[in-house]
Amino acid sequence: MVTVTFILLGGFLIVAETTFLQFFPDWLGRPDLVFILLVFTAYKFNWFRGLLLAFFLGWLLDVVSGVFLGSYLLLSLLLFSIVKFLSQNSPVKETAYQIPLVGVSYFVVQCLFYLFFSMAQPGALPPWSWSRVLQETIILFVASLPCFVFLNWLYEKVSQRRLVFRSMKRRSGNRFR
């Protein structure tokens, strides 16, 4: 249930990013919400469910964005794996580090993405722009705080519902025992 909810949310965010968020000015309406969702799932989801979600989101992004199929899929799987690994095996799992990690990981991913494409497909991407990447990183950093609050709230809600559902299912018919 949690995974399905977050996949649906990811789908909605992708649609939002490719449609009505395009009408907002660059500095306001373009935080990469799917990226925030991926980092959040890396903190909260286990490996299997997280990779499943990363796969679906990468797949959908490949469909609606980009030129080279598979690039977003690879990127989202890698991002999830790295953040998950870091959050399990380092002090980064602490809440205080979570938000800064979103910004740092976004910046690193942009650099790696550009590096990869400049080697694999030279001339396929526009020239590297420090100002643009830094601007997007700051926007993402600012947006990640309310997004994390909302995602956390949603995660708790859906998880509780699942627990209640499970406990109801487990209850035996004999109530006088």
Q: Is 111 in the site for another protein (CB under 8 A)?
A: no
Q: How far apart are CA 105 and CA 81, in angstroms?
A: 12
How many residues make contact with another protein (CB under 8 A)?
Answer: 26
Least gap, CB of 123 to another protein (angstroms) = 6
Q: Is 164 in the site for another protein (CB under 8 A)?
A: no
CA angle 36, 130, 80 (to 5 degrees): 25
Is residue 140 near another protein by the rule CB under 8 A?
A: no
Nearer to another protein, 141 or 155 (CB): 141
Rounded to a whole number of angstroms, the minimum distance from the CB of residue 14 to another protein is 8
Q: Which stretch binds another protein (CB under 8 A): 16-24, 81-89, 99-107, 146-154?
A: 16-24
CA distance 143 to 69: 28
Q: How crowded is residue 157: how many other Cβ atoms within 10 Å of its Cβ?
A: 12
Minimum CB–partner distance for residue 137 and another protein (Å): 12
Question: 57 exposed, middle or buried (CB, 10 Å; 0-12, 13-18, 19+)?
Answer: buried
Q: Which two tokens stand for residue 74?
A: 């690879």
Half-sphere exposure of 5 (CA within 13 A, CB side): 15
User: Which of 121, 149, 157, 165 forms a contact with another protein (CB under 8 A)?
Assistant: 121
Residue 141 CB coordination number (10 Å): 18
By CB under 8 A, residue 15 contacts another protein: yes
Q: Backbone phi, then psi, for 176, in 5-degree steps?
A: -105, 10
Nearer to another protein by C-beta: 18 or 46? 18
Q: Which residues bind another protein (CB under 8 A)?
A: 15, 17-19, 21-22, 30, 32, 64-67, 69, 113-114, 117, 121, 123-127, 129, 132-133, 136
